[in-house]
Structure 1
């Protein structure tokens, strides 16, 4: 059963990676068009502040419920009308119920606390109103998304997000080109509304309507008495616990954008948005599918309810061994990718941006922020994978303990951000390094939790299985020196020098990959 579950969980990785490659490539092309049409001020408002509003509504409404439902064992119930499945479906409606008031509250709060310079941009209120509607439109598809995940129909999500990305790109660029400069913010909002509507439309077509989604009472036996209830108490409590935790987690995840939107000039917000969009390409294409598939596998094989069931089948040990093997493989892969970011990233960022960005963006914070992202991405990958393990296996009391730790990490982030930004004068770059410190602390917490989890089951995470060989480490050090010398000698911006610098990097990468 363990091997079969792993196969089902990770059969989706290639599809999810394909989806992310397609969507990120399309988004990359879209951003290349947008940065040439929209000013840094408009781009910063839309992709930092409006996207932050959108992610706040979506994350707080659905993230905790999604993680809780992943740990349910109801996927084994073939009859969708069974009591347990109906209680499962009732929980999936909670994001919609939370989303309506949260959309209103978050929009009014953002409107009240945004700066006067931001609010005076043309059609600002119209744009944020459309973003709120777009968020709620996407939340309407959440019960159908949950049903598709429950039935392992991952192709539905791939089609929905693929179609939505295309609709967003066409709507955004079309509106920008048609409506003119004064309607730029509304054009971004129309693109997001097209995305949410497309996602909902694909799910409705797939399930031929709402598929029986709706709150329905279920008669259950409680100590010999029949009782009509809407919610499975244990699953409801876990959903609320994870939703409460997601508030802190969201601040930690989006803390840099909170602070950039509040304290940075709009022009530098545009540069920061461009840098983070480029920097997140690898994370969304590669890390996110692995993290989601890992969470699915760990939730179904190692959660407390799963363990209780598998003890009866004699499969618990094999599932723990398989999970440990997966942990070793993914962490070793992440170490290799981290080396690539740290060795090759900083020397080639200026060359890359001079090709990708128009000159007006090169004078913003984009080059500095993207160099800092080379340190941020490896730490983010480790933390995301380890937190996926925690959310899949932790008991409610352990989730409470993690929430307390995250409270401390949020304080650490704020102190580091203020220290880097004011004391050292690093501004937007300091926020990235503050996030590195924050995510590093969370990754250490995740490592300790994961180690204790396997220790209690007479297993051990072997550090030598996640660290590359000495030959790889030595080759990395040599290559790092060579390409940094190349950057000093040939990084002057001339076409011939740039070509030589790129050629040296290519040869070094091939040699490093061969040794690895």
Structure 2
């Protein structure tokens, strides 16, 4: 449990560091670039990049996490049998890890094809949005797409090296990842900020992405010194796949990749629709709102999801009924506490985020974005975060234990549910459908393994005392807004209004209430939360 919490803490620190850097970078970009240029960069370029990376590596990522680490042969086994066993295990490990190289084989051609399609079918408004000092907009788009190809190859290479060491060492090298991300974000910031005049925003964005991918890849390559490269296995009569790749892991990665395609299309459906039908100015406002709104989700909830996926993959990798039952006794309290953390974090976002979002928008958003769709999208995003958090934790469990038929059933369920909803509601309804299926899957899974009594959903609900405190805090904050009128002051006076006494008092009120509620929850959950070792030493002394 302490190892799992240490991993969670490290991942949260990593996300906090990278997202704060990214937030500062986005603040600079949004002030340098127009909403049109920002929309092209953050909606169309980012959508293309995420599509390439998601389809190339997501299925392989999930499959490799479920590969059981190879162990050593038993002491009482004969020497010849032991050598044969170790050779067999090493071959299996190499064959399984070699599957991680497949995203590079297919990812680079996919990136090239996607880039050519984007250049071919880009709208006239998009081409006219490139207000740059070059004679041909087509050349700039091609250069940016070439950068996407390099970024894809670098990023997949980094993932390849990481996966090998995750399985070989059975631990997360979070300090290496932190250093790599730090160097990458710094390089991206410097490269993007090189366009101080804001005359070449799209070229600056492409160069920043290229520098980020190159820097991260070089840090990983220096740390692991090529250990993630493909390993040749002794030839056999079974053919190429048996020589280089483990068939079971390869098939599992193909199943999960097919589901990733469905998930990506349904999850990113709003961006696909925006890029085709929405004006570029609204695309810029939407992109800025999503970048701001996803900060909390990525800093707090994404590390929890990654930790749950790693923990479930290691704990429930076997499908034996007896093993599942025995391990469920250990799994149950951890699953309960992590789920409770997600729900409580969502409540804090709803209570305090919805109360202060209007005030924050008038402080953070550049003036040219206040008349776009950004304010409305951010206000709606507050209510979207809790659904996103709950879905992430549940799908981490499914990705760790689901069989082929389960993956296919989930894909069919998502498609069917999407077809019955209007286009404007597909993103939220999609997540709702995935949550419903995940709840049913979890209940069925534990019931089939004689452990249904350990899965009681009411145990993940937050304590009523904390809920009461949050409700009282919401009432107090709304009353404070009525008394102080902080939002009206900032709307009238701009950012200078933040130093006014009523605004400071309103912010202080929310801060004190949030810290008080968080402190109360930490005290009630003190048996679960990790305590630093130096504190334990002082306490025992």
TM-score bracket, shorter-length normalisation = 0.7 to 0.9
**Equivalent pair of 1:95/1:142 in contact (CA under 8 Å):** no
Residue 509 of structure 1: CA displacement?
A: 2.8
Equivalent residue for 1:170, pick from 183, 187, 190: 190
Q: What is the TM-score with the length of structure 1 in the denominator?
A: 0.87
Residue 329 of structure 1: CA displacement?
A: 0.8
Residue 390 of structure 1: CA displacement?
A: 0.2
Name the residue aligned to 2:135. Answer: none
Name the residue aligned to 1:112. Answer: 120
Name the residue aligned to 1:144. Answer: 161
- After superposition, the CA RMSD in angstroms is 2.6
Q: Deviations over 1:16-51 (max 9, x none)?
A: 111111111111111121112111111111111111
Equivalent residue for 2:489, pick from 487, 493, 502: 493
Question: Which has the larger displacement, 93-102 or 71-80?
Answer: 71-80
SS at match of 2:462: coil
Equivalent residue for 2:10, pick from 8, 11, 15: 15
SS at match of 2:372: coil
Q: Please say if 1:468 is aligned against 2:462.
A: yes
Name the residue aligned to 1:480. Answer: 474
Q: Please say if 1:191 is aligned against 2:208.
A: yes
**Map 1:85-104 → 2, pairs under 5 A:** 85-104=93-112
Name the residue aligned to 1:449. Answer: 441
Q: Check 1:448–1:351 CA distance in 2 against 1; reply closer, same or farther (3 A cut).
A: same
**Map 1:193-232 → 2, pairs under 5 A:** 193-208=210-225, 210-211=226-227, 213-214=229-230, 216-219=232-235, 229-232=243-246
Q: Check 1:316–1:49 CA distance in 2 against 1; reply closer, same or farther (3 A cut).
A: same
Residue 405 of structure 1: CA displacement?
A: 1.4
**Equivalent pair of 2:115/2:142 in contact (CA under 8 Å):** no
**Map 1:110-509 → 2, pairs under 5 A:** 110-120=118-128, 121=130, 122=132, 123-150=140-167, 151=169, 152-154=171-173, 155-174=175-194, 176-177=195-196, 180-208=197-225, 210-211=226-227, 213-214=229-230, 216-219=232-235, 229-303=243-317, 306-308=318-320, 316-412=324-420, 415-418=421-424, 434-456=426-448, 457-460=450-453, 461-489=455-483, 490=485, 491-494=487-490, 495=497, 496=500, 497-509=502-514
SS at match of 2:422: helix
Q: Please say if 1:25 is aligned against 2:31.
A: no
Question: Which has the larger displacement, 276-285 or 64-73?
Answer: 276-285
Name the residue aligned to 1:427. Answer: none
- Between the aligned partners of 1:104 and 1:171, the Cα distance in structure 2 is 24
Q: How many residues align?
A: 483
Equivalent residue for 1:55, pick from 50, 53, 60: 50
Residue 316 of structure 1: CA displacement?
A: 4.4
Equivalent residue for 2:38, pick from 43, 47, 55: 43
SS at match of 1:493: helix
Question: Which has the larger displacement, 49-58 or 158-167?
Answer: 158-167
**Equivalent pair of 1:63/1:243 in contact (CA under 8 Å):** yes
Greater Cα radius of gyration, structure 1 or 2: 2
- Between the aligned partners of 2:386 and 2:340, the Cα distance in structure 1 is 12
Residue 345 of structure 1: CA displacement?
A: 1.3
Structure 1's unaligned 5+ residue stretches are 1-5, 421-433
Residue 365 of structure 1: CA displacement?
A: 1.3
Q: Check 1:493–1:60 CA distance in 2 against 1; reply closer, same or farther (3 A cut).
A: same
- Between the aligned partners of 1:502 and 1:159, the Cα distance in structure 2 is 34
Question: Which has the larger displacement, 493-502 or 384-393?
Answer: 493-502
Residue 10 of structure 1: CA displacement?
A: 4.0
- Between the aligned partners of 1:376 and 1:366, the Cα distance in structure 2 is 15
Q: Check 1:513–1:85 CA distance in 2 against 1; reply closer, same or farther (3 A cut).
A: closer
Q: Check 1:448–1:380 CA distance in 2 against 1; reply closer, same or farther (3 A cut).
A: same
Q: Deviations over 1:256-293 (max 9, x none)?
A: 22222222211121111111111111111111111111
Name the residue aligned to 2:83. Answer: none
Structure 2's unaligned 5+ residue stretches are 74-85, 133-139, 491-496, 522-541
Q: What is the TM-score with the length of structure 2 in the denominator?
A: 0.83
Residue 217 of structure 1: CA displacement?
A: 4.2
**Equivalent pair of 1:93/1:142 in contact (CA under 8 Å):** no
Question: Which has the larger displacement, 113-122 or 441-450?
Answer: 113-122
Question: Which has the larger displacement, 49-58 or 143-152?
Answer: 143-152
Q: Check 1:112–1:219 CA distance in 2 against 1; reply closer, same or farther (3 A cut).
A: same
